[in-house]
Structure 1
Amino acid sequence: MLTIKKMAQRTLQFLVVFSFSCFSVVLAAYPDRPITIVSPFSAGGDADLAARSFAQAASKALGQSVVVLNKPGASGVLGSSQVISAQPDGYTLLLGRTGSQAILPAIMPTNTRYNWDNYTFIGLLEVNPYGCVVSAKSSYQNFEDLAQEIKKRGKTLNYGTAGRLTTNDMGPRKLFSLLKVSPQNVPTQIPYKGTGEAVISLMAGQTQFSCGSLGSFLTHIKAGELRALMVTSDKRLDQFPEVPTARELGYDEMETIVGWSAVLAPPNLPQEIQAALARAMQNIGKDQQWQSLTARTGSIPRITSGHETKIFIGKQYELYRSLGEELDIIDNPN
């Protein structure tokens, strides 16, 4: 005859096995409903374009619809925070960007609400070549012309950005440091609501230069309205073979300034779901339509593993943390 204790033990064993079996069935069926990828920025920008091209390719790779949810606010903090608190079931993903995932946690840790490594890392999607541009009407014919003017005129020069603590902001700050311009005499930043406004002001002569992801300037460079003076990629870009790299110009450290997009998930995502998403990422990397869409925005497709992505973003965080300490702007971006 079974004792009450033995009956309880067998019941517990049954429940454990049953629960594990049910969980395994759920994982085996993943995904069995639409997936949402949160883009923590407004529609129409670089992040949104990356999220939508990913969603299109991922829908094919996973056999389920992937929809984009734009959740702008607080420079990407709002949407990024939402994903951290979501269920770790693979149905809520994040389109991580340089500013929201590396710069803000490094420079504004008090107000960011999350650390750079609070996520499950799925993979890198793309890198966005970074560079500095001027109006085609500008007297600055090459990067050295601009560098000399920055040293000479200092704060009387204006440069446009898409806001503080973006790559548009941090790239020039790094450059001013390399040029050994005193913090009191660096060019004046004019922050706009987005890169589009910054470009308009540059072409109108209200600012003298701007730095950022070249995808934001691509159309205007091709139209002959802007002139690219330098790129931070490790080699010259096929689209702009005449534009020298930062390394060629003697500013090797600028190579670390680059835009990127990555796919992240809430913490504690089950290994089986991570594996399913990793397989999908590999298939996306082979998708010629996705490659074409990504290249069309001026970005370079670059699929990496979750482990490699964590290492990469960690290095980006350390880069901006170090720069923030050097400039004494931690939790005080002004």
Structure 2
Amino acid sequence: MKKKLMVFLMCCASLSMIFANGASEETESDFTNWPEEPITVICPWAVGGVADLVNRKAAVYGEELLGQPVLATNELGAGGNVALTNFLKNKPNSYNLIFGGEGGFSIAPNVDGKEAIMFKYDDFVPVMNMYTATFVMTADASLNIKDLDQLKEYGQTHNCKVAVNGISGSEAFLAKALFKELGIDVTLVSYNGANLALDAVAKGETPFAISHQSQAKGAVEGGLITPVTVFSKDPVSSELFKDVKPVGAYEMEAYYPNTCFLLARKGTSPEVVEKIRNAYLTIMQKEDVKQLFDKLMIEPSVWTSEDMDNHIEHVIQIVKDNQ
């Protein structure tokens, strides 16, 4: 009887090892073969904006480098926060990725309305930073405001309405921080996209806007708006805005590069993250992608995950210092 029991237990142990090895091989195979379905990359900002254009251009090379088509799509709302919230429905190693940045992770959780933010940075895995960009503040050309000294003088007697992309986005915070340092009041007018915010100035809906340099280019060249400042420490390199005095030149500190992180769901395998990162690093070297970056006046920025973590913490501190 004991001998039969021993044989039975040995058989059970052998079967357990077989199933365990099979499960291990299957898990490893899943990572090796990922992706086995098309990938969707969600841009939580406006169609036609800088991030959207980068997303769509990069997606062209998805199948070549990842073996599956990449679909570039958009999901708007609350400056990107709606899409970031909905993304939490995804499981690790899913075929959905999303863009995000300091607006959702550094600003929104630390300003009025933070109770409504249902996600946090730790819910995501940073894959890479797609680019960095410097925002520019522009004014209705009829105001003849070309620097922060003239803006401050104007603000002593006028209501300064600034069009921004979302009430808790990077542009909104930069505006609040800037006007606080200038000591004048500001009213933010929120739009679903920096390009729409810029149009507001060109149409006379607001006297000021904050947008990407490339979005302001046409209206500046057409004489409809004038650049007031760029949100950086040093002058920018673009020909059109290189002579615009940056915020840092006024000994102000509330500035930082605008970023566009490519993110996966928390718990995604490091092998999957590395595969995506390597593919997108290769995409950034494509000649037509480089040309797009030049046209959009943005810079490729090969940050590590630690660089991205540090950026989020840096902007959080700036936000807290400028409430």
How does the TM-score come out when normalised to structure 1?
Answer: 0.85
- CA RMSD in angstroms comes to 2.3
Tell me the distance in 1 between the aligned counterparts of 2:219 and 2:170: 19
Alpha carbons 1:278, 1:305 under 8 Å: kept = no
Letter of the 1:254 partner, please give it.
A
Letter of the 1:85 partner, please give it.
K
1:102-135 alpha-carbon deviations (Å, 9 max, x no partner): 3223334321111122101101011121121112
1:115-174 alpha-carbon deviations (Å, 9 max, x no partner): 122101101011121121112232213332112222x226x2322223311223211110
Alpha carbons 1:117, 1:314 under 8 Å: kept = no
Moved over 6 A (4+): none
1:265-294 alpha-carbon deviations (Å, 9 max, x no partner): 001011211221222232123222212212
Residue 163 of structure 1 is matched in structure 2 by: 166
Alpha carbons 1:57, 1:287 under 8 Å: kept = no
- The residue correspondences of 1:118-197 to structure 2 (distance < 5 A) are 118-150=123-155, 152-153=156-157, 156-181=159-184, 186-197=185-196
Tell me the distance in 2 between the aligned counterparts of 1:8 and 1:160: 69
Letter of the 1:274 partner, please give it.
V
Alpha carbons 2:194, 2:210 under 8 Å: kept = no
Letter of the 2:283 partner, please give it.
I
Aligned to 1:117, the other structure's residue is in SS state helix
Letter of the 1:121 partner, please give it.
P
* 1:264 positional shift: 0.2
Alpha carbons 1:236, 1:244 under 8 Å: kept = no
Aligned to 2:267, the other structure's residue is in SS state coil
Aligned to 2:131, the other structure's residue is in SS state strand
* 1:248 positional shift: 2.1
1:199-248 alpha-carbon deviations (Å, 9 max, x no partner): 33323444222223323322222333221121123332223222122222
Residue 304 of structure 2 is matched in structure 1 by: 305
Q: Percent identity?
A: 18
- The residue correspondences of 1:1-334 to structure 2 (distance < 5 A) are 3-107=7-111, 108-150=113-155, 152-153=156-157, 156-181=159-184, 186-233=185-232, 234-239=234-239, 240-251=241-252, 253-256=253-256, 258-320=257-319, 322-323=320-321, 326-327=322-323
1:177-211 alpha-carbon deviations (Å, 9 max, x no partner): 21234xxxx13333344434433332344422222
Tell me the distance in 2 between the aligned counterparts of 1:197 and 1:281: 29
Alpha carbons 2:146, 2:227 under 8 Å: kept = no
User: Radius of gyration: which is bigger?
Assistant: 2
* 1:76 positional shift: 1.9
Q: 1:134 to 1:18 in 2, by over 3 A?
A: same
Give the unaligned 5+ runs of structure 1: 328-334
* 1:36 positional shift: 0.8
Q: 1:77 to 1:198 in 2, by over 3 A?
A: closer
Tell me the distance in 2 between the aligned counterparts of 1:218 and 1:8: 72
How many residues get paired? 316
1:276-329 alpha-carbon deviations (Å, 9 max, x no partner): 122223212322221221232222221222332233233334433x15xx53xx
Letter of the 1:309 partner, please give it.
M
Tell me the distance in 1 between the aligned counterparts of 2:192 and 2:275: 38
How does the TM-score come out when normalised to structure 2?
Answer: 0.88
Q: Structure 1 residues 297-306 or 55-64, which shifts more? A: 55-64
